[in-house]
C-alpha cells in the first residue's frame, strides 16, 4: 500500500470519487492550497514542492475537479483550440500531443481543428468561439483559417510565425533559419556549389524564412549557384519539381534542398526514374525528420524539429497569457541529422569516399 493509499479516506479506497479534501490530506496541505495549485494560481502563494505534492496526489487518487462548477465561478471553459493546416503528416499530430500533455497538467482540454483545405480560409468551428474557448494556438500555415476567431478577441498564440505579428499575444517559433543554415553548411562542406531549392509553394512565414536563409547562407560561398523550383507539399509534386530541376537547360544541380521530407521523398523518386543515383550523382535533403525520412533508401539527411516540445511551449505560452503573465517570444533549437542521402558531388575531389552521414 502506498502512502497516498494509506492516507486516503476509506470511502475513496472503496472506489468512490476522490474529493479535494482527499487530495489535501494525501499531500499534507490545505484545501485552499489544492484549489490554488489545480487552478494554476499557486505561484508566490504555495511552494513548488507542495505544488508538486498536490499534483502527484491528484494523479494517484484520480482526482478530477468539477470543471463545470469552476467554469461558472471563473467564466472560463478551460478549453483551447489548436488550429493546424492539416493532419497529412505526423508533425502536427506530435505538436498536438505536446500541447495536450501540458494542458492536461492544468486541467485544460485541447480541441484540434485542421483547416479543411490544408491551407486557406476555413469556417469558424464554433457558433460562438468566444463562448466556447479560452484561447487559440495556431500555426502560421493555417493563418487564413483564423479570420472568424480573430474577431472574437480571444487570446492568440502563434506557432512558426512572424514575431512581429501584432494580432498574437505571444509567438513561439522553431529556429527554422538556423536549420537551413545547417543544411547549407553541410552541403557546401561536402563541395556542392550547384544547389536547387525545391521550395514549398505556400504563402507562409516559415517558408519565406527558409528561402531567405538559404539565399543568405549561399551569398558568401564562392561559385555557388542557387535555383528555385516551386512545388506543392506532396510526394507527386515533389517528383515533378525535381524532374523539372534535373532536366532543365544548363549544368545539372548536384544537390536538391527540399523544404519538407515529403517533397524530398518525391525528389528521390525523380532521381531514380532518371537513372541517377543518390547520393553518388545527386544529394537530397529534407526538413522535419518525419518517419518518412527513415523509410526512403538511402535514409534522408534532414533537420529534426522538436514537434512535441513545440506544442508544449505553445500551450505554456497560452496559459501564461491567460494567467496575466507576459509570455516572452520563444525560439526552440533544431538539429541537423546527416544520413546517407548526401555525399560529395560527382565532380568533387573527394567523391571516392562512400556517402556522407551516419
Average pLDDT for 59-71: 60
Q: Which residue has the higher pLDDT, 69 or 87?
A: 87
Quick one: pLDDT band at residue 356, thresholds 50, 70, 90? very low
Which triple of cell numbers denotes residue 214? 538559404
Instruction: Name every residue whose Cβ is closer than 8 Å to that of residue 345 and which is 6 or more positions away in sequence.
Output: 190, 191, 192, 193, 194, 254, 255, 283, 351
Parse the chain into domains and list their residue ranges. Answer: 3-65, 76-175+307-333, 176-305
How far apart are alpha carbons 174 and 14 in whole angstroms? 48
Topology adopted by domain 176-305: Rossmann fold (3.40.50)
At residue 116, the pLDDT reads 54
Q: Which residue has the higher pLDDT, 34 or 5?
A: 34
pLDDT-above-90 percentage for the chain: 46
Helix axis angle, 20-27 relative to 48-61, nearest 10°? 130
Average pLDDT for 304-330: 87
Class of 3-65 per CATH? mainly alpha
Whether 336 and 190 have beta carbons less than 8 Å apart is answered as no
At residue 78, the pLDDT reads 80
Cut 0.75: pTM above it? no
- Has residue 117 got a pLDDT over 60? no
- Has residue 337 got a pLDDT over 90? yes
What length is written for the chain? 358
Write the pLDDT tens digit of every residue in 222-259: 999 999 999 998 999 999 999 999 999 999 999 999 99
Hey, how many other C-beta atoms are within 10 angstroms of the C-beta on 276? 14
Strand partners, 335: 304
What are the percentages of helix, strand and coil residues in the chain, rounded to 5?
45, 15, 40
Strand partners, 56: none
How far apart are alpha carbons 246 and 233 in whole angstroms? 19
Hey, how many other C-beta atoms are within 10 angstroms of the C-beta on 326? 8
Domains 3-65 and 176-305 in one fold: no
Whether 107 and 69 have beta carbons less than 8 Å apart is answered as no
Please state, in angstroms and as integers, the Cα–Cα distance from residue 333 to each residue in 137, 173, 253, 307, following that order.
20, 9, 29, 11
Topology adopted by domain 76-175+307-333: Rossmann fold (3.40.50)
Least confident of 88-92, 156-160, 301-305: 88-92
At residue 348, the pLDDT reads 56
Instruction: Name every residue whose Cβ is closer than 8 Å to that of residue 35 and which is 6 or more positions away in sequence.
Output: 20
Average pLDDT for 97-103: 92
- Has residue 289 got a pLDDT over 90? yes
Which triple of cell numbers denotes residue 120? 486557406
At residue 352, the pLDDT reads 41
Amino acid at each position: 500500500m502506498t502512502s497516498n493509499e494509506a492516507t486516503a479516506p476509506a470511502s475513496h479506497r472503496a472506489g468512490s470519487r476522490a474529493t479535494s479534501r482527499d487530495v489535501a490530506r494525501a499531500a499534507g496541505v490545505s484545501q485552499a492550497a489544492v484549489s490554488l495549485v489545480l487552478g494554476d494560481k499557486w505561484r508566490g502563494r504555495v511552494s513548488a514542492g507542495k505544488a508538486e505534492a498536490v499534483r502527484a496526489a491528484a494523479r494517484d487518487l484520480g482526482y478530477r475537479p468539477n470543471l463545470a462548477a469552476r467554469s461558472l465561478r471563473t467564466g472560463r471553459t478551460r478549453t483551447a483550440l489548436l488550429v493546424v493546416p492539416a493532419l497529412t503528416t505526423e508533425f502536427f499530430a506530435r505538436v498536438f500531443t505536446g500541447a495536450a500533455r501540458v494542458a492536461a497538467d492544468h486541467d485544460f482540454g485541447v480541441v484540434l481543428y485542421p483547416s479543411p483545405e490544408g491551407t486557406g480560409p476555413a469556417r469558424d468551428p464554433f457558433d460562438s468561439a468566444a463562448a466556447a474557448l479560452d484561447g487559440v494556438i495556431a500555426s502560421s500555415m493555417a493563418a487564413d483559417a483564423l479570420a472568424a476567431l480573430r474577431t472574437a478577441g480571444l487570446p492568440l498564440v502563434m506557432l512558426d510565425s512572424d514575431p512581429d505579428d501584432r494580432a498574437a499575444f505571444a509567438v513561439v517559433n522553431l529556429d527554422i533559419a538556423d536549420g537551413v543554415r545547417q543544411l547549407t553548411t553541410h552541403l557546401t562542406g561536402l563541395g556542392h556549389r550547384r544547389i536547387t531549392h525545391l521550395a514549398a509553394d505556400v504563402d507562409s512565414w516559415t517558408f519565406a524564412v527558409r528561402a531567405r536563409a538559404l539565399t543568405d547562407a549561399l551569398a558568401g560561398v564562392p561559385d555557388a549557384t542557387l535555383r528555385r523550383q516551386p512545388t506543392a507539399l506532396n510526394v507527386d509534386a515533389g517528383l515533378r519539381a525535381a524532374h523539372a530541376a534535373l532536366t532543365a537547360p544548363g549544368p545539372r544541380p548536384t544537390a536538391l534542398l527540399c523544404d519538407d521530407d515529403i517533397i524530398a521523398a518525391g525528389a528521390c523518386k525523380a532521381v531514380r526514374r532518371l537513372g541517377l543515383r543518390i547520393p553518388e550523382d545527386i544529394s537530397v535533403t529534407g526538413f522535419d525528420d518525419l518517419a518518412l525520412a527513415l523509410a526512403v533508401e538511402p535514409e534522408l539527411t534532414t533537420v529534426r524539429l522538436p514537434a512535441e516540445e513545440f506544442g508544449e511551449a505553445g500551450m505554456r505560452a497560452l496559459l501564461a497569457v491567460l494567467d496575466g503573465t507576459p509570455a516572452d517570444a520563444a525560439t526552440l533549437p533544431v538539429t541537423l541529422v546527416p544520413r546517407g542521402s548526401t555525399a560529395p558531388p560527382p565532380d568533387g575531389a573527394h567523391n571516392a569516399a562512400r556517402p556522407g552521414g551516419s
